[in-house]
Amino acid sequence: MEIQSVKGTRDFYPEDMAKRNFIADLWKRVSLRNGFAEYDGPIFEYLAMYQLKSGDEIASQLFAFEDRGGRMLAIRPEITPTLARMVNQRINTLPRPIKWFSIPRLCRAERPQKGRLREFFQWNIDIIGVDDCLADAEVIFCSVDYLMQTGLTSDDVVVRISSRRLMAALLEYFGIEEQQLEKVYGVLDKKNKVPQETFEKMLEEVISDSSKRQKVQKLMAVESLGQLEDFTGADENANQAIEELKQLFNYLDIMGITEFCRFDIGIVRGLAYYTGIVFEIYDKSEQLRAICGGGRYDNLLADFGGQKISATGMGMGDCVLGIVLEEKGLFKNLSQKNGIEYFVALADESLQNELLKVVARLRRAGRKADFSYKGGSLGKQLKQASAVNAAMCVILGEEFTQKKQLVIKNMDSGQQDIVAVEDFFSRLG
């Protein structure tokens, strides 16, 4: 019986692995240069940890199992609860601010579709212990810094930013009851995702009072921060939230990424735990789900049994990002980058042992070196060198036998140099 791969999983052949590594290596490099330190946790945790803050729907999308000791466990669908647990355990000794990142492999038992699989990688960055929206600005900056590094520009992607705090204040100011807020958020989050008519109908279902509904509709038509002032009146909370957004955009401007960023009142985020600034980054073609999303979650650590400490962060999965980079042709020269540096070839079979010595020396000197197992004509060996994207070929022939010289061939230009063996290796350093 032929065994097939499991639904929603991927096999990474070397060419796929090269793309995955391109994505993940850059995640790591950008995190480090933005001052984040790497952490990781176990790939499974107690099931209860994920049920704590999630509804039944989300709990049903976990890969859960019972171990031999009767413990109910689940493969991690996200790493934030693990982060909360780890930070809470050492909260009194960790120097602040806590700036951590991780690149966990996650599993969710959802139905796969475009940009969403059952197993994927997700870059997470979090800043814990900073109230100031400068931390939110840094999270956004770091995300944009990454996307720019991949070659994407403000013509390709946009950061849409809003504030849960603002929405909460205004909805309360409009007279919407607190217990209705979650439902209303759920609808508002759809604003950019469904047709205008559908949006209005959905709104009607959660806000029956027509004068309140009208206020909300008018609010959702707002397109810039400036227009917000008309709505707030003297409401202190709302005005503070607007001030915070203005400060955030000021930071983003100073850091030079303002062209990527836009205020968008339709960004609410599905999750209940967001408390302040929220944002999502989209591909401008609008055909895909969000590339990444994040925001402030000031209550989460307390919800997981710790002190109340402010936190903000974001997550970026590899699926949508991979589609975007592929579409924009940004996986360039990966086979070249991963190719062999020196392919060592024989023009004389009696030099087999000398060839192995050269290969071994190259490898010990830290160079990517390889050779042909089966040998054959020099032509065949050069052909193999091309197949593995070798940058240079080192040829051992009569020059070696007579004068201990190597032929060094540049596979790109075809140019050849003859150098003495010891000169060659001393130049390598």
Q: Alpha-carbon distance 166 to 347, whole Å? A: 74
DSSP 176-232: --GGGHHHHHHHHTTTTTS-HHHHHHHHHHH---HHHHHHHHHHHT--SSGGGHHHH
Q: Alpha-carbon distance 355 to 64, whole Å? A: 54
DSSP 107-153: E--PPPBTTB-SEEEEEEEEEES--STHHHHHHHHHHHHHHHHHT--
Query: Could you tell me the smallest distance in angstroms from the CB atom of residue 329 to RNA?
Result: 18
Query: Could you tell me the smallest distance in angstroms from the CB atom of residue 12 to RNA?
Result: 14
β-pairing verdict for 261-263 and 157-163: parallel
Q: Closer CB to RNA, residue 155 or residue 349? A: 349
Main-chain phi, psi angles of 113, to 5 degrees: -155, -175
Per CB under 7 A, 380 contacts RNA: yes
Per CB under 7 A, 285 contacts RNA: no
Query: Could you tell me the smallest distance in angstroms from the CB atom of residue 287 to RNA?
Result: 7
Per CB under 7 A, 376 contacts RNA: yes
Per CB under 7 A, 52 contacts RNA: no
Per CB under 7 A, 82 contacts RNA: no
Point out which span in 3-11, 31-39, 237-245, 300-308 binds RNA (CB under 7 A): 3-11
Q: Alpha-carbon distance 363 to 393, whole Å? A: 14
Burial classification of residue 37, based on how many CB atoms lie within 10 Å of its CB (0-12 exposed, 13-18 middle, 19 or more buried): exposed
With contacts defined by CB under 7 A, how many residues of the chain interact with RNA? 57
Q: Alpha-carbon distance 97 to 150, whole Å? A: 28
Query: Could you tell me the smallest distance in angstroms from the CB atom of residue 411 to RNA?
Result: 3
Encoded one letter per residue, x for contact with RNA by CB under 7 A and - for no contact, window 176-205 reads ----------x------x------------
Inter-residue contact 58 to 374 (CB < 8 Å):
no
Per CB under 7 A, 379 contacts RNA: yes
Per CB under 7 A, 9 contacts RNA: yes
Inter-residue contact 341 to 392 (CB < 8 Å):
yes
Query: Could you tell me the smallest distance in angstroms from the CB atom of residue 139 to RNA?
Result: 13
Query: In this chain, which of 30, 36, 47, 80 binds RNA, going by CB under 7 A?
Result: 80
Per CB under 7 A, 334 contacts RNA: no
Helix (H, G, I), strand (E, B) or coil at 58: helix
Site for RNA, residues 349 to 368, rule: CB under 7 A: 349
Residue 163, H or E segment:
strand 157-163
Q: What one-letter code names the amino acid at 376?
A: G
Per CB under 7 A, 49 contacts RNA: no
Per CB under 7 A, 407 contacts RNA: yes
Site for RNA, residues 109 to 148, rule: CB under 7 A: 110-114, 116
Query: In this chain, which of 383, 403, 417, 428 binds RNA, going by CB under 7 A?
Result: 383
Query: Could you tell me the smallest distance in angstroms from the CB atom of residue 232 to RNA?
Result: 27
Per CB under 7 A, 43 contacts RNA: no
Inter-residue contact 300 to 91 (CB < 8 Å):
no
Query: In this chain, which of 24, 52, 58, 255 binds RNA, going by CB under 7 A?
Result: 58
Residue 382 CB neighbour total at 10 angstroms: 18
Inter-residue contact 302 to 7 (CB < 8 Å):
no
Site for RNA, residues 88 to 107, rule: CB under 7 A: none
Query: In this chain, which of 164, 215, 296, 409 binds RNA, going by CB under 7 A?
Result: 409
Q: Closer CB to RNA, residue 228 or residue 317? A: 317
Helix axes 164-173, 181-188, angle to 10 degrees: 120
Per CB under 7 A, 214 contacts RNA: no
Per CB under 7 A, 348 contacts RNA: yes
Q: Alpha-carbon distance 16 to 10, whole Å? A: 9
Query: Could you tell me the smallest distance in angstroms from the CB atom of residue 238 to RNA?
Result: 24
CA atoms within 13 A on the CB side of 348: 13
Calculate the alpha carbon distances from 201 to 96, 181, 182, 263 in Å. Answer: 46, 17, 17, 25
Point out which span in 47-55, 91-99, 218-226, 362-370 binds RNA (CB under 7 A): 47-55
Per CB under 7 A, 378 contacts RNA: yes
Interface residues toward RNA, by CB under 7 A: 2, 4-9, 50, 54-55, 57-58, 61-62, 77-78, 80, 108, 110-114, 116, 186, 193, 269-271, 289, 293, 315, 347-349, 374, 376-380, 382-383, 385-387, 395, 397-399, 407, 409, 411-414, 416
